[in-house]
Structure 1
Amino acid sequence: MHPTEWILNHNQEQIILQANKLTLFQQCKIIECVGSDNLHYLLFFHKDDFLTVQPLVEFDQASFLGHLEQKGSCIHAPSPLFSLLLPAATSLKIISADALLTKIKKQYSSIETALIYSYFDSYIPSEQLDIFLKEIFYTFRRDGKLLAAYRLGIVLLSRGYQKEWLRSAIEHADYAHAKNHFQSPLITLMTTDPLYVEQQLFSSNNYTQLLELYQEQNRVIDSLILYINVFIKRPSPTEYKNLITVLNNTFTNDEILSFLRSLLPVVSTETGLHQDVYHRLIKNKETDAAVGLLFHYPFPLSKKDIRDLPELLNHLSISTLELSLQSITQRLLPLVRESPQTFEKIICATLPNLLNRHTLADIYTHLKLNEEISEIPSLSKISDMYHLVEDAENQLKLGMYYYDLGQYEKAIECFSWEMELHSNQVEPIQWLAKAYQKVGKHKEVETYHNLLKQMKHSS
């Protein structure tokens, strides 16, 4: 699954924005994007409503962006959540703070407008933002709406807008009754003050009640972000089942698979995630991806998985696998008993690649510890090669082994040594010509062909 992209029309040019990560903090979500101009941009949302796109700017840790970075819950691309929140290829544009304010005033209450506007404290001059928020606060007070004024104050403070004028204002004795109202249990405030309740639940990591609130408000994306973060923080088979249940209610099987694959690097193989993804890939006939997963993560295989492995491996180009020595013994050892032919096929196909990444001594030392695989022909070859390395009289044989495995430079070293020891023999020179031909060194090929002709004439 590729990262989701949108189109930003800015300064008479189109910039492709590619999703990087999605962060949830209280009622706000922000998608960080990388633009085709190599700059970073932020897509702002209030709940599920898209607000605007802005370039990423430097921000203070006490700002809203700082709180979001420190306390938010993140989902990294790729994920179907991005296009669910904002359809791919949507055309976007950057709007001014004044235009944004006009937009949100039409859609939200005064308190929610103030909250949303405060998200942009890294873009709006501090003095300008303070004037706007004070105007709303003191308008409530002048109109005798003390509870509304206190509600605005405590919502802004809870979101992290910690200004002295606001803290001192709501400490006034006139707000004693309003203060008592907010000291009630959160469950009793759910109907009258859902913004404040959500902020408190988010800050205290009260996932159970927060999920109930999201469900009541039909906020599917926020629920999914929360379930994912709970699973990442408390990975277990039980939490994984809970996550799958939620995903099944929202996404197609292909979307779920893409989503789960994005979680593979961040959770333990003991959760059941990796086995599930492995089986989903096989069901989708994505054999290369399934085998890649198999050799990259040490999740347990069932007896049926082991029995089915030879058939699975027969459907891909094994030579493209970059197997580690550890993965060979961990994953392929069971095949010696189930299907020695398949094991031999895999070792033969991957041996050249192994020799490119490991020394012959490393390969031999690692594999010789397993007595049950010592009779496999390709491993017998490795054993022969290892013992020939120190045998100066048999470098020709070692070179032929290397040549058969496509290790032409190493083969040339062996043939050259053999030629020095036995300069009157034709065979090492013939092999040198063949090996140089393989590496494209035609001048050397011609040199050894001429030497062979001279030897033939002189004999």
Structure 2
Amino acid sequence: MTEQPITIYNHKQQPVTLDALRLTNYARAQIIEAIDSTQQLYYLFFYKGKFITAKTTSTLKRFSFIAKAFSYGHVHHAPHPFIKAFLDANPTMKMINNQQLLRKLNDKYSKHDQAYILTMFESFIKKQQLFDHLKSMFYEDRREGHLFSAYQTIQIMKDFTPNHSFVKSLINDRIFKKYFTMYQDQNEKLFQQDVIESEKIMFNDPEQYFNYYMDHLKAEDRIIELSMLQYHQLKTAPTEAILKTFEKNFPNALSDEDLLKLYDELASYNSFNPLQNRLLKKCIEFGHLNQISSIILKHDLDFNAQDAKQLTEIITRQTDRKLTAHPQGLQRILIKLIDFNSSNTDRLLYPFVSELLGHYDLDELNKWLEPFRELNSNANVLAKFDRIYALNNDLDHIQTLGELYFDFKQWDQALECFSMASELRPDDSKPLKWLSKTYLEKGLKAESEVYQKMYVDSQKQAY
């Protein structure tokens, strides 16, 4: 797949075209790294799937939020369906300055969401300025007696500036003792009262909190993030239950082809059989023969009767024989299909033998066909190839060899044989007839007519 260019509007409301490089999902934040035609890097910030703004920079601060997001988040390189999903969900994206950012956050987000979002921008806004803003939020809550809310802000500041003396002194302040215990124990009460902190915990410990995290994302209708979470789990600890819910919850904005790409990626990370089989079924559904060839060669998966029937229909309708570029994978597919129903041997093998004759040495092709002789030794296609193999370089039967090549639509080899037969037996009109037929099949009407006339003249002379 190819990624569609990204269009954002700069501070002057002028469109800027970008190419995506990668996406990271890091708890509630998503960031797309992109580049413009001058190689300027842009970072597009999303919060719970919603676009916030974009920033430009040439370097990122070490240990900043964005640096950690690309180091410890779930990263997907372009082109990728998840990048497409975020862009489709945010069709209009405008860059705003820092003052506009503060107003936007104040209008649309809760106090603690604002605090968390602001920490995402430490590579683009002075850290002291951000710290002072968070500090004022803390003091405002404490003055009004909202101690838990104040402590929530301190927890956000702890991730932002863990070694700052102000943060250290307040984390263990006795007036916040009961809250400190709640955060330290990570108990149910914390998960009910501080969704930002609880989501960070769930993101960092998916083994323990995976199902809880899935329910949380689903309840907030954050379907793209839910799919990304399930995708990551399928990479690291796949189960059939997750596989089923992954497809069930797949974002509507993404296509079946996008789902196929994700299955293909996942299959490259592990050899989880249900996943490989799901990929195989999707490839059969879409008729992706080269991928089927690759999957079967790597994992030796089996078909059921319905798969075999569907794949047989796809192969026999196929006009593009590019699959012959992977003869071992093709052989594995055809063996499995013929094993299901040997009466399909000629129907399945004929077009591919015809194509392989044009690209492979006869000895190689003879060896490639050996397993099919064990499955159906009476197949007509095998008998014809065996005659080609036996008669190769036999000048006494060069006409017959040409007719066999003609049957397999190998026009050039057929022409070579008929031309030689005509030279060896100049009084025989039969090679002329076949030369005319073969040139016509090649679309060379003028040459065909020449040999047709020669054939008719030779017939007249015979009488």
- For normalisation by structure 1, the TM-score amounts to 0.73
Superposition deviation, residue 203 in structure 1: 2.4
1:368 CA displacement: 1.4
What is the match of residue 131 of structure 2?
A: 134
CA distance in 1, matches of 2:426, 2:39: 61
Separation of aligned partners in 2, 1:343 and 1:129:
72
Matched residues in 1 for 2:432 and 2:224: separation? 70
1:260 counterpart letter in structure 2: L
> How far has the Cα of 1:58 moved from its partner?
5.4
Equivalent residues, number: 439
Distance 1:221 1:309, change over 3 A: closer
Report what 1:365 is aligned to: 367
Residues 1:406 and 2:409 are matched in the alignment: yes
SS of residue in 2 equivalent to 1:319: coil
| Correspondence list, 1:6-405, <5 A | 8-9=8-9, 22-31=23-32, 42-53=43-54, 59=60, 62-74=63-75, 79=81, 83=85, 87=88, 90-122=91-123, 124=124, 128-139=125-136, 145=142, 151-152=152-153, 154-156=155-157, 158=159, 161=160, 167-170=163-166, 172-173=168-169, 175-177=171-173, 180-181=180-181, 184-187=184-187, 188-206=189-207, 207-208=209-210, 209-215=212-218, 217-244=220-247, 246-247=248-249, 257-258=256-257, 260-268=259-267, 270-273=272-275, 275-276=277-278, 289=287, 295=293, 297-298=295-296, 299-306=301-308, 308-309=309-310, 313=313, 317-323=317-323, 324-336=326-338, 339-370=341-372, 371-405=374-408
For 2:233 and 2:402, how far apart are their aligned partners in 1? Answer: 57
How much has 1:190 moved relative to structure 2?
A: 2.3
Partner SS, residue 45 of structure 1 = strand
Deviation at 1:328, TM superposition (A): 4.5
RMSD of the TM alignment (CA)?
4.8
Whole-Å separation in 2 of the counterparts to 1:13 and 1:352: 57
Give the Cα–Cα distance (whole angstroms) in 2 for the partners of residues 427 and 99 of structure 1. 87
1:92 alignment partner, SS class: coil
Alpha-carbon distance in 2 for matches of 1:12, 1:48: 23
Counterpart of 1:301, as a letter, is: F
**How far does the alpha carbon of each residue in 1:279-325 deviate from its partner, in whole angstroms, 9 at most, with x for none?**
6798xxx6x5376765553332224544x448x61796233354443
Q: Quick one: distance in 1 between partners of 2:314 and 2:457?
A: 49
Q: Hey, what's the Cα distance between the residues in 2 that align with 1:57 and 1:316?
A: 54
- Unpaired runs of 5+ residues, structure 2, are none
- State, as a whole percentage, how many aligned pairs show the same letter: 21
Q: Look up the SS of the partner of 1:167 in the other structure.
A: coil
Contact 1:138 1:149 in 2 (8 A): no
Confirm or deny: 8 A CA contact 2:283 2:291 kept in the other structure: no
For the residue of structure 2 that corresponds to 1:29, the secondary structure is: strand
Partner Cα distance (2:446, 2:151) in 1: 88
Structure 1 SS opposite 2:409: coil
TM-score (norm 2): 0.72
Using the alignment, how far apart are the partners of 1:54 and 1:420 within structure 2? Answer: 77
Q: Is residue 402–residue 410 contact of structure 1 (8 Å, CA) maintained in 2?
A: yes
Give the Cα–Cα distance (whole angstroms) in 1 for the partners of residues 39 and 440 of structure 2: 45
> Post-superposition shift, 1:96?
2.8
Q: Which runs of 5+ in 1 are unaligned?
A: none
In the alignment, residue 201 of structure 1 is paired with which amino acid? M
Checking the alignment, whether the CA contact within 8 Å between 2:6 and 2:17 is kept in structure 1 is yes
